[in-house]
Structure 1
Amino acid sequence: MLNGMRESSAGLAELRGDCARCFGLCCVALPFAASADFALDKDAGTPCPNLRDDHRCGIHAKLRQEGFAGCTVYDCFGAGQKVSQVTFGGRDWRAGPPGHARRMAEVFPVVRHLHELLWYLTEALALPAARPVRAELRRALDETERLTRRTPEELAALDVAAHRREVDVLLLRSSELARAGVRGRRRDRRGADLIGARLKGADLRGVSLRGAYLIAADLTGADLRGADLIGADLRGADLTDADLTGAFFLTQPQVEAARGSAGTRLPETVGRPAHWATGA
């Protein structure tokens, strides 16, 4: 299992955002509304007022204090640099011909969805228990990568939702195979409403929490080893001293949105959020 995780971590390293090679696309293409996560309204395709001319954030060091916590939990899975440097050949959205910026704003979310799928497929390929579907996973990964390299026009017209449905079938099968090896009852809590749930010390080993709403849930000391967390909403969830060793399909944005401690055990595929140390 350890070797598989190391291979997964190596492959996933290429699917992390590299702001130095991006033109601040997430700060331009994506919309947000004034809320607890964002201090103001911004339309899709409109640059954030905090975006500097060098494509860096002017308040990056104090995003949470300035009311932009939503920015701190976002990750493009490497789509930003792919769209900036590959899809559009290094041409800045500010300097292109008429319609260039609009097209980049259209393409970026599509590639971001595809890169998220690449993350899940890469992780699934590293699961020893998923060997029966490994060939199918490899084909799906290769096809998804091929899609990311289409022209801007092709990407803008791509039905990414249809492709995601096809991939989800394989990811679900991989999850079932991996969780079959976990002892005890493996409950299916897909899409469950667990907002604010009291799950302190809960035994959630091998449980499917795909798409579950765990907003502000108390998961202090919970055992989430081998759990499927794809799409689980962990905003404000308390993971203090929880054990997520071997949990899969967990992404950096999910843990960044949660609260944790030095005692929280995480899979090798994600890093410990800096704000956990301060309790922010």
Structure 2
Amino acid sequence: MQDEPGTAASARTELQADCAQCFGLCCVALPFAASADFAIDKAAGSPCQNLRTDFRCGIHTELRQRGFNGCTVYDCFGAGQKVSQVTFGGADWRSGTREHARLMADVFPVVRHLQELLWYLTEALELPAARPIHPELRRALDTTEALTRRTPEELAELDVPTVRQDVNALLLRTSELARAGLGRGKKKERRGADLMGARLKGADLRGANLRGAYLIAADLTGADLRDADLIGADLRDTDLTDADLTGALFLTQPQLNAAKGSAGTRLPASLTRPGHWTG
């Protein structure tokens, strides 16, 4: 059964990667350095050595075993197919001039940022508590969507930080409305906090403000993260085994992909349990 046009579900679908409609842009446009996440160095705009001629990854089923954990975490929020099929009308980076390829590589990360904002705005519009600002959120969503459909040259010159700043102000108001009445206090206000390796097993973090918090390798086993604001939180190697993330605000698939979890981890309905999680 297909999602009805105009529904939240259909909007979410358009913000999910469709690699079959993309020209392997994440494997070309983005740089990475040899590290725990990548086995090799690669410059921006240079095709990965594992990219096949059909724009598919030659080691997709072995990425983690081959030292490319970073690839398994990444998500473009549908920017790949939009840039490939809409912005450049189906002309891939190999079919034109060197300038065409360079412009495509420059535009892809810009649209990826915009698509991520669309994900957050779509979620905000689904929250009943944010109804007082739904008109503003809708205008912001329409404006951001319109930006994604600008010409390649216009997108390359777009001031992304300013766009993000404007949208973030609305998302912050959304968060405050959604978390109202769920309790406050020092333990709940952890915006940007350094919680790397923190022992938070079973912690009551319901409605907590964890925006931009560093939770790398933190132990959140069995923690209550219902309705917590997790926008921008760094969840690399965070242990979410049996944690409750029901209704967590602005949680994304890349964050989950970077974390550890189990079959007992409870997730928002819009997200998928990563295949590498245990249990």
Check whether the contact 2:184–2:208 (CA below 8 A) recurs between aligned residues: no
Check whether the contact 2:199–2:220 (CA below 8 A) recurs between aligned residues: yes
- Give the secondary-structure state (helix, strand or coil) at the position aligned to 2:106: helix
Shift of 1:72: 0.2
For 2:30 and 2:224, the matched residues in 1 are separated by 35
Check whether the contact 1:9–1:268 (CA below 8 A) recurs between aligned residues: no
Shift of 1:12: 1.3
Code of the aligned partner of 2:246: T
Shift of 1:10: 3.9
1:66 aligns with 66
For 2:127 and 2:10, the matched residues in 1 are separated by 14
2:142 aligns with 142
Could you list the runs of 5+ residues in structure 1 that have no partner in the other structure? 1-6
RMSD across aligned positions (CA) = 1.1
2:213 aligns with 212
For 1:91 and 1:189, the matched residues in 2 are separated by 46
For 2:261 and 2:278, the matched residues in 1 are separated by 8
For 2:181 and 2:91, the matched residues in 1 are separated by 49
Structure 1 residues 248-267: Cα deviation after superposition (integer angstroms, max 9, x where no partner): 10000000100001110001
Shift of 1:11: 2.2
For 2:251 and 2:14, the matched residues in 1 are separated by 16
1:101-140 aligned at under 5 Å gives the runs 101-140=101-140
For 2:190 and 2:139, the matched residues in 1 are separated by 29
Code of the aligned partner of 2:224: D
1:87-236 aligned at under 5 Å gives the runs 87-183=87-183, 185=185, 187-236=188-237
For 2:23 and 2:181, the matched residues in 1 are separated by 44
Code of the aligned partner of 2:67: G
Structure 1 residues 58-100: Cα deviation after superposition (integer angstroms, max 9, x where no partner): 0000000000000001000000000000000000100112311
For 2:72 and 2:137, the matched residues in 1 are separated by 31
Code of the aligned partner of 2:97: P
Provide closer, same or farther for how the CA distance between residues 102 and 184 of structure 1 changes in structure 2, counting only shifts above 3 A.
Answer: closer
Structure 1 residues 9-60: Cα deviation after superposition (integer angstroms, max 9, x where no partner): 4421210110000000000000001000000110000000000000000000
1:4 aligns with none
Structure 1 residues 94-152: Cα deviation after superposition (integer angstroms, max 9, x where no partner): 01123110000000000000000000000000010001110000000000000000000
| 2:244 paired with 1:243 | yes
For 2:74 and 2:53, the matched residues in 1 are separated by 21
1:45-56 aligned at under 5 Å gives the runs 45-56=45-56
Could you list the runs of 5+ residues in structure 2 that have no partner in the other structure? 1-6
Provide closer, same or farther for how the CA distance between residues 171 and 26 of structure 1 changes in structure 2, counting only shifts above 3 A.
Answer: same
Structure 1 residues 222-277: Cα deviation after superposition (integer angstroms, max 9, x where no partner): 00000000010000000000000111100000001000011100011110011113
Question: Which moves more between the two structures, 183-192 or 203-212?
Answer: 183-192
For 1:153 and 1:184, the matched residues in 2 are separated by 46
Which of 1 and 2 has higher RCO (CA within 8 Å, sep 6+)? 1
For 2:9 and 2:208, the matched residues in 1 are separated by 23
Structure 1 residues 159-209: Cα deviation after superposition (integer angstroms, max 9, x where no partner): 011011000000000000000042565722111000000000000000011
For 1:156 and 1:11, the matched residues in 2 are separated by 25
2:4 aligns with none
Provide closer, same or farther for how the CA distance between residues 62 and 231 of structure 1 changes in structure 2, counting only shifts above 3 A.
Answer: same
1:271 aligns with 272
- Give the secondary-structure state (helix, strand or coil) at the position aligned to 1:38: coil
For 2:30 and 2:183, the matched residues in 1 are separated by 42
Provide closer, same or farther for how the CA distance between residues 86 and 10 of structure 1 changes in structure 2, counting only shifts above 3 A.
Answer: closer
For 2:86 and 2:139, the matched residues in 1 are separated by 22
For 1:140 and 1:15, the matched residues in 2 are separated by 16
Check whether the contact 2:194–2:213 (CA below 8 A) recurs between aligned residues: yes
Code of the aligned partner of 1:220: T
